Amino acid sequence: MIYSVVRPVADDVCTAGLRDLAGFVACISCQGGASVSFRRILIAVDGSPLSAHAADVGIELARSLGSNLALIHVVDPAPYVASESGIPATDIIAVAEQNGSRLLAEYRARATLQAPPMEFVRVGTPAAEIVDAATEWHADLIVIGSHGRGGVSRLLLGSVAEGVMRHAPCPVLVVRAQA
């Protein structure tokens, strides 16, 4: 595993690091020589194998640092609102929220820490909700997975990790897919 730390001069430097480096990319911006401590770590999960890997990394980091942990799952309502299934979007979103709660319970069970993790299930735009939760909870670090795609794939699919990096109130550890 390659660990890469990028201290961005501009957002584009960190974004390039996300697309071009293997392993982990930590985007940390410290003002005036401030020290960084990770007492409160927020891990974003979506149920994919990639987010499971990122969660494992974040849980192990929290365990080794003695940090408090919070888990977040965001239900993006956009696909459900546009659905032509005939089922009301509110019903589908409610089921997705329940599934998100079950997912977080699985990760909570994996996180054998001194204090049980906080859990957030939100509905909205994933990057914005993750940033909002990090702000509200006063997170010192956000851990998120990224597929690392660039170019047209990133433009078509969007990038939650990139959106979080650009707007996060704290450092972001982006965990790339295992090679």
- For the chain, domain boundaries: 3-176
| pLDDT computed for residue 152 by the predictor | 52
| pLDDT computed for residue 104 by the predictor | 96
| pLDDT computed for residue 157 by the predictor | 41
Give the separation between CA 6 and CA 19, rounded to whole angstroms: 12
135 in helix, strand or coil? Answer: helix
Phi-psi category of residue 124: left, alpha or beta, with phi > 0 → left and psi -120 to 50 → alpha: left
| pLDDT computed for residue 18 by the predictor | 44
Q: How many other C-beta atoms are found inside a 10 Å radius of the C-beta of residue 117?
A: 21
Residue at 158: amino acid letter: G
175 in helix, strand or coil? Answer: strand
| pLDDT computed for residue 150 by the predictor | 56
| pLDDT computed for residue 35 by the predictor | 62
| pLDDT computed for residue 31 by the predictor | 53
C-beta separation of 143 from 57 below 8 A: yes
Q: Is the pTM of this model over 0.85?
A: no
Per-residue pLDDT 10s for the chain (179 aa) are 333 333 343 444 454 444 444 455 555 555 555 566 899 999 999 999 999 999 999 999 999 999 999 999 999 998 877 777 788 889 999 999 999 999 999 999 988 877 889 999 999 999 999 999 999 999 999 999 987 655 555 544 448 998 999 999 999 999 987 76
Tokens of 159: 């990038």
Length of the chain equals 179
| pLDDT computed for residue 148 by the predictor | 61
User: What is 3-176's CATH number?
Assistant: 3.40.50.620
87 in helix, strand or coil? Answer: coil
Sign (positive/negative) of CA torsion 127, 132, 135, 141? negative
Q: What share of the chain is helix, strand, coil (3-state, %, to 5)?
A: 45, 20, 35
Give the separation between CA 128 and CA 163, rounded to whole angstroms: 8
| pLDDT computed for residue 32 by the predictor | 53
| pLDDT computed for residue 33 by the predictor | 54
47 in helix, strand or coil? Answer: coil
| pLDDT computed for residue 94 by the predictor | 95
Residue 33, judged by CB atoms within 10 A of its CB (0-12, 13-18, 19+), counts as exposed
